[in-house]
Structure formats: C-alpha cells, structure tokens
Amino acid sequence: MSALLIGLIIYHFLHEQFEFSKITRLGYWIIPIFTLYQFGRTFTWSPINGLVLLIIIGFATWIGHYQARHTKIRLEETATTFFRDSEQHEIPIYRKVITAQGGRPYLLGWLMTLGAQFIIEITYLHEHLSWTKINQEFFQEVLADLITFYRFSASGRHTSWTLWALTGGTSLAYTLWLAHRSPAAKQTLFGETMHHHISSEHVD
C-alpha cells in the first residue's frame, strides 16, 4: 500500500473524529459483543490472569468514561418527506437522528488504549515490537475503527484474551457511559420507547 494512500486513510480517520456521526445500535454494540465473545473463548482463569483482567477493566472503564464525558451529542431533525394539508400546503415530516462527535478527547483515549495494547504485548505477552510492527498495528487499528467489519476479517491477528478484553472493555464502557450521560443516546442504544419530548436536549 502506498504511503500516499496510507496518509489519506489516516487523515480521513482523524477528520472523522471531528464530524458528527449517527448513533446506531448496530454500530455501537457490534464491536463490544464480538470482542467480548472472543474474550470469553480465549480467557483461562488463573490468579495472575484475574489480576490482569481487573487492571484492564479498571483502565477500560476510565477510558470509556473520559471519552463519553467529552463527547458532544446533539439531536438533528431532518425533513425527509412531507404531506399536504387540506389547503394543499406542504407540511414537512421530520426525522430525528441522534449524532455524536468524539473530537480530541476521543482521539486521546484511542491513543492511550493503543499504548496500553503495546504495553500488554511487551510486558505480558513478551512480544518484540519493532518500529515497523508498531506502525502496522497503528494502521490496522485505524482501519478497524473506520471499517467495523475489518476487525472481523482481521480477528486472527489477535490471539490473546488480554487484547480482546482491552478492545471490548473500552468499547463497552464508552457505549454504556454515553447512554448514561444522554437520555436520547440511551433511547437509541437500547431501543427504548420514550414518550416525552427530547428535542430540547443539548449536551456539550
């Protein structure tokens, strides 16, 4: 892959973090479900594994809270169709969409998670990380964040339960903290039926 194409993909990834994107149940739940399933398949109990898991859970909870606390959430109303009243006036019908923008704090949390992954690989998995391998894993995580199903196709490169726990834990924590912080986001993420008016909600 050419350096220009890699640079464009990374630029697009960075740009995406500062754009408002639609919150969907599939988009926010598919990664934690898949990665935690892989964690369950690969985890074996031992005192040291239990201790490492507790550390990962604590770190993931903190990262998810930090990212969600600084995420901007807004309710967008877009006219997708209309009907005509008795006087033949066009009355627009608005579609409500909940969107979120992670921004710089989300990027920082993402980088800290990637850094934690490298620390686990060096200290716990005793892997040798060359500069080439670090760049490769960085780019793979960029692709996995941009293209959800890339994480499924590249799942074979992760064999340790620690990396599945880290990815699944941070993703799940972010989703749950986002739902806790915003009733509108909670409605979308959990498919709840809300009968009160939420269009006045504004969360910075």
101 pairs with which residues across the strands? Answer: 72
Strands (E) across the chain are located at: 21-22, 72-84, 90-101
Q: How confident is the model at residue 102 (pLDDT cuts 50, 70, 90)?
A: very high
What is the value of pTM for the model shown?
0.84
For the sheet containing 21-22, what is the strand order? 21-22, 90-101, 72-84
pLDDT(191) > 90: no
The residues, ordered by sequence, that sit 6+ positions from 14 with a Cβ below 8 Å of its Cβ are: 107
CA torsion sign for 40, 44, 47, 51 is: negative
**Each residue of 34-79: pLDDT tens digit?**
999 999 999 999 999 999 999 999 999 999 999 999 999 998 876 6
Q: What is the pLDDT of residue 91?
A: 63
CA torsion sign for 131, 56, 158, 9 is: negative
Instruction: Output the DSSP codes for 27-42.
Output: HHHHHHHHHHHHHHHH
**Each residue of 75-94: pLDDT tens digit?**
887 666 665 666 666 666 66
CB 65 within 8 A of CB 177: yes
The residues, ordered by sequence, that sit 6+ positions from 8 with a Cβ below 8 Å of its Cβ are: none
**Each residue of 119-171: pLDDT tens digit?**
999 999 989 889 998 998 899 899 888 887 777 776 556 668 999 999 999 99
Question: How many CA within 13 A on the CB side of residue 16?
Answer: 13
Q: Are strands 21-22 and 72-84 parallel, antiparallel or unpaired?
A: unpaired
Which of 72-81, 86-95, 100-109, 185-194 shows the lowest per-residue confidence on average (mean pLDDT)? Answer: 86-95
